[in-house]
């Protein structure tokens, strides 16, 4: 059975995604790490009954990794489609997760696909593919990491419909944490209160605040019998910082917002 991924809409993101997909527009999801960008794409793929092909972008990702390459198989040279080409041929959703991590010379190959042409030139085969009906190109990135060296080119951004995602409001986040970690609502509420407190810290020195993802991880530890404060130290404080001063401050929040072990 194909079970729908659990996702609670925050605003109009589902409506915008559906409209953009129907019109063949490419989509850019912007939001902090762990706010639910990937889960949102999974949920929309399920709603639209479309295959989802996900690519985790990194600095060594090449255009050939996306499009495809010739490989030796059984003594013969054969062409093997990359994930982007497979999505173009089949009409799937191609999701480039954290696209800003990929080299800019790699993302240029996306331009003919992400505008009105909806074409993928494959120079090594001497062909140009036209995207099949239903194909959608979706990219995500964290604006908090952007810099001169790590940002999307304007020529890429202006080919996309942008959807801004953020951490859900507390009442929604409590439901998400409770569902994903199979927790009692009251326990999930404690973890969300801790996450909210960490996010309110000003100039804390943290590179990232507590995401919904780390709160769920703490909840999963609690579900396995780990005391809630111990779970938060392992799944929230530990991943956020190695700085002793910052860790002490976060431990104080753990003790302030979570019930005694």
pLDDT tens profile 225-241: 999 999 999 999 999 99
Q: What is the pLDDT of residues 38-88, one digit of tens each?
A: 999 999 999 999 999 999 999 889 899 999 999 988 889 999 999 999 999
Q: How many residues does the chain have?
A: 261
- Specify the residue for token string 């003594």: 75
Q: pLDDT band at residue 105, thresholds of 50, 70 and 90?
A: confident
pTM: 0.88
Q: Give pLDDT, residue 37.
A: 94
- Specify the residue for token string 């990135």: 141
Q: Give pLDDT, residue 157.
A: 84
Find out whether 59 and 105 touch, Cβ atoms under 8 Å.
Answer: no
Q: What is the pLDDT of residues 166-175, one digit of tens each?
A: 999 999 999 9
User: Residues 179-204: what's their mean pLDDT?
Assistant: 91
Residue in 18, 26, 6 with CA at minimum distance from that of residue 88: 26
What tokens were used for 7?
A: 């996702």
Q: Which helix (H) or strand (E) holds 201?
A: none
CA–CA separation, 231 and 240 (whole Å): 14
Q: Give pLDDT, residue 56.
A: 94
Q: pLDDT band at residue 147, thresholds of 50, 70 and 90?
A: very low
What tokens were used for 107?
A: 């993302």
Q: Give pLDDT, residue 148.
A: 43
* Residue 135 Cα distances to 22, 117, 192, 200, 257, angstroms: 10, 13, 37, 40, 46
Question: For the range 13-18, what are the long-range contacts, defined as Cβ-Cβ under 8 Å and sequence gap of 24 or more?
Answer: 13/40, 13/163, 13/165, 14/44, 14/47, 16/161, 16/163, 17/44, 17/163, 18/44, 18/47, 18/48
Q: What is the pLDDT of residues 124-137, one digit of tens each?
A: 999 999 999 999 99
Residue 17 has pLDDT above 50, yes or no: yes
Q: pLDDT band at residue 141, thresholds of 50, 70 and 90?
A: confident
Q: Give pLDDT, residue 202.
A: 63
User: Residues 108-121: what's their mean pLDDT?
Assistant: 91
Mean pLDDT of the chain: 91
Residue 113 has pLDDT above 60, yes or no: yes
Find out whether 20 and 161 touch, Cβ atoms under 8 Å.
Answer: yes
CA–CA separation, 192 and 188 (whole Å): 6
């Amino acid at each position: 059975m194909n079970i729908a991924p659990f996702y609670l809409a925050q605003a109009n993101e589902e409506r915008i995604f559906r409209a953009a997909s129907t019109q063949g527009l490419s989509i850019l999801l912007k939001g902090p790490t762990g706010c639910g960008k990937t889960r949102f794409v999974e949920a929309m793929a399920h709603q639209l009954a479309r295959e989802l092909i996900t690519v985790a972008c990194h600095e060594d990702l090449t255009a050939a990794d996306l499009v495809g390459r010739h490989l030796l198989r059984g003594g013969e040279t054969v062409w093997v489609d990359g994930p982007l080409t497979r999505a173009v041929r089949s009409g799937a959703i191609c999701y480039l997760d954290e696209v800003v991590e990929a080299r800019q010379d790699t993302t240029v190959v996306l331009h003919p696909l992400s505008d009105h042409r909806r074409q993928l030139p494959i120079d090594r085969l001497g062909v140009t593919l036209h995207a099949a009906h239903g194909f959608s190109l979706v990219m995500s990135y964290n604006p908090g990491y952007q810099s001169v060296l790590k940002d999307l080119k304007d020529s890429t951004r202006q080919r996309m419909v942008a959807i801004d995602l953020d951490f859900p409001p507390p009442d929604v986040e409590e439901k998400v944490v409770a569902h994903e970690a199979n927790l009692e609502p009251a326990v999930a509420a404690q973890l969300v209160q801790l996450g909210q407190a960490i996010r309110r810290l000003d100039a804390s020195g943290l590179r990232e605040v507590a995401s919904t993802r780390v709160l769920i991880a703490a909840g999963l530890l609690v579900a396995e019998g780990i005391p809630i404060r111990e779970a938060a130290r392992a799944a929230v404080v530990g991943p956020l910082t190695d700085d002793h001063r910052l860790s002490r401050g976060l431990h104080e929040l753990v003790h302030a917002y979570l019930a005694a072990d």
